[in-house]
A and B are shown apart, each in its own frame.
Chain A
Amino acid sequence: MFRRIRPILTKEFRQIRRDKRSLGVLLVLPAFLIFLIGYALNFDVKHAPLAVFDQDKKQASRELIQAFINNEYFSYRHTVGQDREIATLLGEGKALIAIVIPPGFSRELLAGRDASVQVLVDGSNANTATAVLGYTSAVLQSFSSKLTMRTMQRVGRELYLPLDFRPKVWYNPELVSAKFLVPGLIGFILMISGVVSTSLSVVKENERGTMEQIMVSPLSTRQVIIGKTIPYLIIGLLGSVLVLLVGFFLFDIVIRGNLFWLYVGIGLFLLAALGQGVLISTIAQTQQVAFILSVFSSLLPTFLLSGFVFPIRSMPIILQILSNVAPAKFFLIVVRSVILKGAGPGAFWDQLVFLAIFALLTLGISILRLRKRIE
């Protein structure tokens, strides 16, 4: 078996070596992209630009504004004197949130009555807006409690806080979103390099007519497909070492779990990605079609359907089912379990099985398709 594959391996390697640019791209670029994009991945909302319209200008209103200023989630940018200005600031995106304190705010509170403030939020980015609204209500809650305490003290009563809670966050105590996103990015980039490297392989030889030459040799289709996959598997594995190093040195991505199982995952995942590429290249008749197919079957789904950025649980059921066509989905569970949670294979063995099935299916179908084409 191996003796037969060897010549085709040599041929592929020679071709790769001759195309220095492609080799460099596949080997070094993934790590470079992690370095560059890793810094861009950030969902943490901090320093939301705030505009304040204080129509009261008394002690309580000033205290409330101070509470917002002291909060790291807001950054006090604009003092507004008119409703119209708020519309402009929100429209141009210069403020994300505006607070309007009505006249009589302090008077109401002093009299022991509830008061309200108007909170205007730019909701266009729903995610950011939800987070900012959460922070706002936390500021108002603690402001209210402080006032209540003060009233109680004034009338000589002691008040206790009846219910307290202790939040405990596992795996990522500071809730830094990059910790979650960078491992996902690793999967994303490995997927793209895998598909890119094989999706033109067969169709290229078809277009050039060199496939005929391979076909008249005593090689079986299975050997051709395997011979075209293995060199890129090796390149991908080498590239992934660089990727993990960059993750470790620049983004503090410490692998808590077992490195061996991580590499089992990476190996199976690369095979799945390469398999998807080979399959595309046996389906497409021209390289152009192969290119489009590979973009639309790997780039976008891996970005949007794999749980890399958007939680799969929030998607409609149909998409949750459909997300199973993105092998990155399974790999991301593995990579996050190993890297962030330090979990053992018990937590993700089923994902490894799915990856293996995916790789076998894509490569198997490619072999069948190629055989049919020849006959």
Chain B
Amino acid sequence: MNTILHIIIKEFLQIRRDRRMLALSIMAPIVQLILLGYAATTDIRSVPMLVNDQDRSAASREFICRFTNSGYFVVEQYVSSSKEIDHYIEEGHAWLALVIPPNFGNSILAQRPVSVQLIADGSDANSANISLGYAVQIVSTYARTIMAETLQRMSTGDAGHGPAARPVRVNPEVRVWYNPELKSAHFMVPAVVALVLMIVTMTLTSLGIVKEKEVGTLEQLMVTPIKPYQLIIGKLLPFVIIGAVDITLVLSVARFWFGVPMRGSILLLYGLSGLFILTTLGLGLFVSTISRTQQQAMMTAQFFIFMPFMFFSGFAFPIENMPHWVQAITYIIPLRYFITIIRGIFLKGVGIAELWPQALALLVFGATILTLSVLRFRKRLG
């Protein structure tokens, strides 16, 4: 125990001497979370649109107003030719163009069918899909209003014949659970918390042992009577402490700065975050044992851990959308389980009854990876 304590003191001395490092491991998570929490939004508002009104009648103006009043669209430019549309969309200044044909107002008055054209820049498929959805709703609501007016005129014309003919409709009464304002920040911020936490703790540990190897001080430690497991515990504990501080910081930022609702138990979240940190520290250590130089450690961490974790964890891209063989890969990504946990506790308020499979998976991962790195480490010594 005493030996471990000495290593811990040595590590802390080293950390304290490297002020920049200490500042980075405390400040970076907060700054990153605040910035990225704002950036990670998929909400689509004020879609820049072009209008080519070839009719210029009262009806067409009213129709355009329906777009601008919806709050989803902003008219970027009124254009007069399709060539201009090409230009604006190609340069990305507008996402959507509305073309109203010259006979629009007359046709509506004369009760003739008429078509408008919507041109969307499909290169950003997600934004295009959502803005087209908004546009479709506006067009069909307008069509419905006209239909209702026509029918009313028709039935007042020959009152008394047959049952009242009016358009019936099925109205959705929408209730959105867990995130009623549909703010993507509430979904993304907890995931960014998980990501930042993982990156900080892993970066710190992954260079820990390689550094001593490279500088040559590992040999010195080896000839002392310190046992490998003592060395590893002593090296990890300081990072566990920094990790715990980081958890507190980033959770506070998520809760109080971004106002993400906390519906579940904060204690449970703390406990499971600890479990997650165990995994990331273990991974960091593992990278450390398989790398010869710090550069290799860095590449391994970035390319083999951070990147797959970002993409296969369901952080931004829903796992259900992936092909089955890719879904199978996601099961070996510990971050996947932690993101389910953190989103579940924050937004849905679920407890250990629902989250035990994820917790168990994290535990298994943490234990396996820690054991593996200790074994690898010992072999190097032997």
Residues of A near any B CB (own CB < 8 A): 19, 21-22, 25-26, 29, 33, 36-37, 39-47, 64, 90-92, 109, 112-131, 133-138, 140-141, 143-144, 147-148, 151-152, 155-157, 159-173, 175-177, 179-180, 189, 192, 196, 199-200, 204, 284-289, 291-296, 299-301, 303-305, 309-311, 313-316, 318-319, 322-323, 333, 336-337, 340-341, 343, 347
Closest to A152 in B: B165
Looking at chain B's contact residues, the main secondary structure is helix
Q: Are B311 and A163 in contact, with the CB atoms below 8 A?
A: no
Contact A37 B308 (CB under 8 A): yes
Is B111 positioned at the interface, with any CB of A under 8 Å from its CB? yes
B176 & A123 in contact (Cβ 8 Å cutoff): yes
* B132 close to A (CB within 8 Å): yes
B223 contacts the other chain (CB 8 A): no
- Is the CB–CB distance between A299 and B163 below 8 Å? no
B227 within 8 A of A: no
What is the chain A residue whose CB lies nearest that of B211? A288
Q: Is the CB of A204 within 8 A of B125?
A: no
Given A43-B321, A162-B113, A116-B172 contact (CB < 8 Å) = yes
The answer for the CA separation of A41 and B308 in the assembled complex, in Å, is 12
Which residues of the other chain, B, contact A292 by a CB distance below 8 angstroms? 21, 24-25, 28, 200, 203-204
User: Across the interface, which residues of B come within 8 angstroms of A305, CB to CB?
Assistant: 35-36, 39
- Given contacts A36-B308, A115-B168, A166-B118, is CB(A121)–CB(B175) below 8 Å? yes
Cβ of A109 and Cβ of B41 under 8 Å apart? no
Question: Can you spell out 24 A-B residue pairs with CB atoms less than 8 angstroms apart?
Answer: A36-B308, A39-B322, A40-B312, A42-B317, A114-B170, A123-B178, A126-B183, A127-B187, A134-B137, A137-B137, A161-B113, A164-B115, A164-B116, A170-B120, A170-B121, A179-B123, A192-B303, A199-B298, A288-B204, A300-B195, A301-B35, A310-B41, A323-B39, A347-B92
Q: How far is the CB of B242 from chain A (nearest CB, A)?
A: 12
Residues from chain B with a CB closer than 8 A to the CB of A192 are 302-303, 307
Pairwise interchain contact A162-B111, C-beta atoms closer than 8 A: yes
A161 neighbours in B (Cβ, 8 Å):
113, 143, 147
- Count of interface residues, chain B, beta-carbon cutoff 8 Å: 123
Report whether A162 and B108 are in contact in the complex, using a CB–CB cutoff of 8 Å: yes
Instruction: Judge whether B133 is part of the interface by a CB distance below 8 angstroms.
Output: yes
A171, B18: Cβ atoms closer than 8 Å: no
Bound CA–CA A303/B32 (angstroms) = 12
Cα distance A251–B215 when bound, in Å? 45
Contact A299 B294 (CB under 8 A): no
User: Which residues on B are within 8 Å of A, measured CB to CB?
Assistant: 18, 20-21, 24-25, 28, 32, 35-36, 38-46, 48, 89-92, 108, 111-130, 132-137, 139-140, 142-143, 146-147, 150-151, 154, 161-180, 182-184, 186-187, 192, 195-196, 199-200, 203-204, 207, 211, 293-299, 301-303, 306-308, 310-312, 316-318, 320-323, 326, 329, 343, 347-348, 350, 354
Picked from A21, A33, A109, A300, the residue with its CB within 8 Å of the CB of B36 is A300
A288: B residues at CB distance < 8 A: 18, 21, 203-204, 207, 211, 294
Contacts of A26 in B (CB 8 A): 299
Taken together as a complex, chains A and B put the C-alpha atoms of A305 and B312 apart, in Å, by: 19
Q: For A204, list chain B residues within 8 Å (CB).
A: 294-295
Contact B168 A147 (CB under 8 A): yes
Instruction: Give complex CA distance A340, B128 in Å.
Output: 14
